[in-house]
Amino acid sequence: MGITMIRKYKWKDWSMPIRTDAIVVPVEYTEEGKLPFLKTQFEENSLSLTYTMEQEDRVYGLGQQLRGINKRGWIYESYCKDDPNHTEDKHSLYGAHNFFIVKGKESFGCFIDCGGKVIFDIGYENQNILNIETKEPCEVYIVTGNTINDIIKQFRCGIGRSYIPPKWAFGYQQSRWGYNKKQDIEKVAEEHKKRNIPLEAVYMDIDYMERFKDFTIDENKFPEFSEFAANMIKQHIHLVPIIDAGVKIEDGYEVYETGKDKYFCKDKNGKDFVGGVWPGLVSFPDFMNQEVRNWFSSFYKDLLDMGIEGFWNDMNEPALFYSQEGLKEVYEKAGKLDWNNFRLDDFLELQPLVNQLGGNEEDFKKIYHNINGNMVRHDKVHNLYGYFMVKAAMEKIEKERPDKRILLFARASYIGMHRYSGIWTGDNKSWWSHLLLNIKMMPSLSMCGFLYAGADIGGFDGDVTEDLLTRWLEFGIFTPLLRNHCALGRRNQEIYQYESWKKMKELICLRYRLIPYLYSEFMKSALLDEMFFSPLSFIYSEDKQAEEIEDQLIVGDSIMIAPIYEQNKSGRIVYFPEDMLMLRFETSTHYVKEKVKKGYQYISMPQGEAVFFVRKNHIFILGEGGKYVDEACKGTMTILGWFEKETSYLFYEDDGYSKEYNKNNFETWSVIKRTTLKEDDWNLKIQGGRQSKKYLIEKDII
Ligand code: MIG
């Protein structure tokens, strides 16, 4: 029997430049940490933690990262990066989620609380060695527990409750970079409406702003904005504008003028740091500072007052196309071009300068924050920038709308931010491998508290194909954030642009039937610190086969999914760690049930059908669906399952808008067997809560 606890270790005279507030509960701590499990070396302000892995050990976690669910066999860098090429050879993405679990003879969790760069070598230099290194002051937490889920629960409890979005944010959402004017968005709404495709939100990318200036609306392209927003809301469609991190340097622009020389990050001479992003030259708000957060977030008020109920924060790694200094250097070098005395070496010197302009880590060393009166170099706290931008937004939103849930998610993130918002997984591509990456990433995000999450459905960059979009939706209908998003200039990605839109529509309609279950499971994950997406290995921990399956997931407690993520497939081999009831939705209204026995089975999955599996003796709930989320949560609930014994389900429901997550929102639904003279009769008994639901019970009993 292990002991369940979370313990903190830190080193004298090695204090972090800013409290990250990642951990919110008091924990026991040991100064001059000598950690259990990990061999600790602390020399010259550099920490190295080493663990020798057994052959069988598995490593899980790191949230938004590349590669597999089991993280063994690569070297990962925790350093938020705006890199749109999520290929296998990379080491970091947009988030820094420094929590992992070693599962083996001795299992434990470890969280490195550090605003700077941390390297996780998990069997890269040496297959059996796990090594963590950082030169930045940090605190380390070790979490122990009896099971993996126990360790996760401890950790999640330690980092505080995950962000809960409004219920409408579980609906289908459409986005695209390049909806250039009001009419473009109205058209998207219309095209969905015409075909009865549910649509809960349309996103406003940087196109809506005036010269990419935060908190401005281009009046020519989006006239009478409040009226427009109100009209959309009448159709149950929310407009969700983007807010970027960089503030355009422009005389007379209110945000810039009020922030100038006061609220922006500095260069080494104490002048506002100047970089380049979409607006051209920008300065970056110093979000590490409460006064700055108050100032920047005050601008959200106007948008809220215009009826906006959702935002996305972008470019907050922060993304930097170039620093003014770097750009100068390039132009100077290029300016020397002399055709008469052309030297290849000049070109070869120029080329890397140009290539390294964007996201150059050296530039992060030229930026300074004012943290409690100390100038702190940006790279020391880099991983917290996005987090504090989001914190700013939510602090203001909560002040303005204390009783209402507002949608917020962002690109860059750090553990702790999960309390303020969700995330999307950034600029993926319309690649099959990125659908698989999406599947594998979801459980690691659940571990780190990022529950409201999802990828750009269909892929952001690249030209999607009809089959990829359909397959992605087949998986996407299970992710809390279900947003189709696409890059400027790429092939149209709204489902109605495709001949087989009806099939995709049925998937979206099915999503609305899944919402009562998904929402119930989501809320339990948030309120009870549980996993939303689990790898099979977390649930069937004694099953050697299940341990290695990375392309099937358990969603909530009752169902398993096994998505198709390869082109030209009409089915796949699925591993069943136990008997399950297969549900095959040929359309959103017509489904067939079939019992499947434990073991490997080939399951046919024609494009556009949703096939998933209910665990034996688990209750699955199917709603009636609807045109929008609120409607989808009324109506009759169908209880589905393969029951061989009495079982119960904890059902959660609320109005989806208010923030009272009280006891009355939980009901226990039990399937009870009553044997009469004629046959076994199965009934549902509901205890607790409001018990206002109508339900129907549909079962398969051996
Ligand atoms: O440099 O606002 O990840 O979703 O469409 C690209 C334009 C800037 C990156 C975001 C993407 C968004 C895009 N943005």
Q: Helix (H) and strand (E) counts for the chain?
A: 16, 42
**Ligand 1 centre from 314 Cα, in Å?**
7
Nearest protein CA to atom 11 of ligand 1, as residue: 427
Query: Residue range 544-572: average pLDDT?
Result: 98
Tally of CB atoms within 10 A around 52: 12
Q: Which of 83, 427, 430 to mutate to test the pocket of ligand 1 (most atoms within 8 A of CB)?
A: 427
**Residue 572: beta bridge partners?**
603
Pick from 120, 136, 117, 140: nearest CA to 382: 117
Q: Which of 155-159, 352-356, 523-527, 567-571 comes out lowest in average pLDDT?
A: 352-356
Dist. CA 615–CA 279, nearest whole Å: 51
Q: For residue 6, give both structure tokens.
A: 């979370």
Distance (Å, whole) CA 320 – CA 385: 13
CA nearest 615: which of 534, 681, 678? 534
pLDDT category of residue 151 using cuts at 50, 70 and 90: very high
Q: Binning pLDDT at 50, 70 and 90, where does residue 701 land? A: low
Q: State yes or no: pLDDT of 30 exceeds 90.
A: no
How remote is the CA of residue 426 from the centroid of ligand 1, in Å? 8
Residues 619, 647: Cα–Cα separation, whole Å: 8
Pick the atom of ligand 1 nearest to 206's CA.
2
- Does residue 166 have a cis bond before it (omega within 30 degrees)? no
Contacts of 18 by beta carbon, 8 Å cutoff, 6+ apart: 115, 288, 371, 372, 376, 381, 384
CB 283 within 8 A of CB 249: yes
pTM to 2 decimals?
0.97
Interval between CA 313 and ligand 1 midpoint (Å): 10
Whether 259 contacts 296, CB under 8 Å:
yes
The Cβ-side half-sphere exposure at 554, using a 13 Å CA radius, reads 22
Look at residue 675 and tell me whether its pLDDT is greater than 80: no
CA-based nearest residue to 391, from 447, 316, 455? 316
* Token pair 């979801």: residue: 442
Report the nearest-CA residue for atom 8 of ligand 1: 315
188 CA distance to ligand 1 middle (Å): 19
Query: For residues 222 and 113, what is the distance between their CA atoms, to the nearest angstrom?
Result: 43
Q: Both tokens of residue 192?
A: 């969905």
Q: How confident is the model over 333-343, as a mean pLDDT?
A: 82
Secondary structure class of 177 (helix, strand, coil) = coil
Per-residue model confidence (pLDDT) at position 335? 84
Q: For position 34, what pLDDT does the model report?
A: 83
- DSSP letters, 220-269, are TTS-SHHHHHHHHHHTT-EEEEEEES-EE--TT-HHHHHHTTTTB-B-TT
Cα(448)–Cα(405) distance, rounded to whole angstroms? 22
> For residue 460, which atom of ligand 1 is closest to its CA?
4
C-alpha–C-alpha distance, residues 326 and 362, integer Å: 10
Residues in the chain: 702
The phi-psi region of residue 164 (left if phi > 0; otherwise alpha if psi is between -120 and 50; otherwise beta) is beta
C-alpha of residue 242 to centroid of ligand 1, in Å? 9
How far away, in angstroms, is 106 Cα from ligand 1 center? 43
Residue 663: phi, psi to the nearest 5? -55, -35
Residue 645 has pLDDT above 70, yes or no: yes
For β-strands 275-277 and 322-323, DSSP reports them as antiparallel
What is the 177 CA–ligand 1 centroid distance (Å)? 7
Residue 1 pLDDT more than 50? no
Average pLDDT over residues 69-92: 97
**Which residues share a beta bridge with 23?**
none
Helix (H, G, I), strand (E, B) or coil at 104: coil
Q: Which atom of ligand 1 is nearest to the CA of 244?
A: 2
Judged by phi (left if over 0) then psi (alpha if -120 to 50, else beta), residue 91 lies in alpha
Task: For Cα atoms 383, 388, 393, give the angle at the middle one, nearest 5 degrees.
Answer: 145
Per residue, the 3-state secondary structure of 285-342, as one string, reads ECCCCHHHHHHHHCCHHHHHHCCCCEEEEECCCCCCCEEHHHHHHHHHHHHCCCHHHC
Best substitution site from 80, 176, 207, 315 to test ligand 1's pocket, by max atoms within 8 Å of Cβ?
315
670: buried, middle or exposed (CB in 10 Å: 19+, 13-18, 0-12)?
A: middle
Q: How far does the centroid of ligand 1 lie from the alpha carbon of residue 465, in Å? A: 21
Which residue ranges have their beta carbon within 6 Å of ligand 1? 177, 205-206, 242, 314, 411, 426-427, 460, 485
Q: How far is the CA of 178 from the centre of ligand 1 (A)?
A: 10
Residues paired with 276 in a beta bridge: 281, 322
pLDDT the model gives residue 315: 98
Can you tell me whether residue 455 is helix, strand or coil? coil
Ligand 1 centroid, distance to 335 Cα (angstroms): 31
Partner residues linked to 311 by β-bridges: 408
Which atom, in ligand 1's list, is nearest to the CA of 84?
A: 3
Q: Retrieve residue 545's tokens.
A: 């086969």
Taking alpha carbons only, the member of 478, 467, 465 closest to residue 455 is 478
- Give CA torsion, residues 99, 103, 106, 108, to 10 deg: 20
- Tell me the residue type at 225: F
Q: Are 109 and 414 in contact (CB under 8 A)?
A: no
DSSP state letter for 513: H
* Residue 625: HSE in the Cβ half-sphere, 13 Å Cα cutoff: 20
- Is the pLDDT score of 622 beyond 80? yes
pLDDT in tens, 270-305: 999 999 999 999 999 999 999 999 999 999 999 999
Tell the residue nearest (CA) to atom 12 of ligand 1.
Answer: 177
Q: In this predicted structure, which of 230-244, 568-582, 627-641 has the lowest mean pLDDT?
A: 627-641
Measured in whole angstroms, the distance separating CA 557 from the mean position of its chain's CA atoms is: 20
From residue 656, alpha-carbon distances to 166, 168, 403, 653 in Å are 5, 7, 12, 8
Q: Examine the pLDDT at 606 and tell me if it is beyond 60.
A: yes
- Find the 488 Cα to ligand 1 centroid distance in Å: 9
Inform me whether the pLDDT recorded for 678 exceeds 90: no
H/E segment holding residue 58: strand 58-61
The answer to whether the CB of 179 falls within 8 A of the CB of 191 is no
The reported pLDDT for the residue numbered 2 is 46
The residue behind tokens 């508290």 is 449
Q: Whose CA is nearest to atom 5 of ligand 1?
A: 177
Over residues 587-602, the mean pLDDT reads: 97
Other CB atoms within 10 A of residue 193 CB: 14
Residue to mutate (ligand 1; options 80, 203, 314; most atoms within 8 A of CB):
314
Distance in Å, CA 326 to ligand 1 centroid:
23
Looking from the CA of residue 277, the nearest atom of ligand 1 is 1
Cβ atoms < 10 Å from Cβ of 440: 20
If DSSP states are collapsed to H, E and C, what string results for 571-604?
EEEEEECCCEEEEEECCCCCEEEEEECCEEEEEE
Q: Each residue of 471-507: pLDDT tens digit?
A: 999 999 999 999 999 999 999 999 999 999 999 999 9
Q: Which residue has the tokens 């527990």?
A: 145
Give 212-254 pLDDT, tens digit per residue: 999 999 999 999 999 999 999 999 999 999 999 999 999 999 9
The closest alpha carbon to 228, from 192, 190, 185, belongs to 185
Return the best residue to mutate from 205, 411, 481, 486 for the ligand 1 pocket (most ligand atoms within 8 A of CB): 205
Atom of ligand 1 nearest to the CA of 411: 3
Cα(136)–Cα(379) distance, integer angstroms = 9
| Mean of per-residue pLDDT scores for the chain | 95
Residues 6+ apart with CB under 8 A from 444: 60, 61, 62, 63, 64, 65, 69, 97
Distance separating alpha carbons of residues 353 and 476, to the nearest angstrom: 40
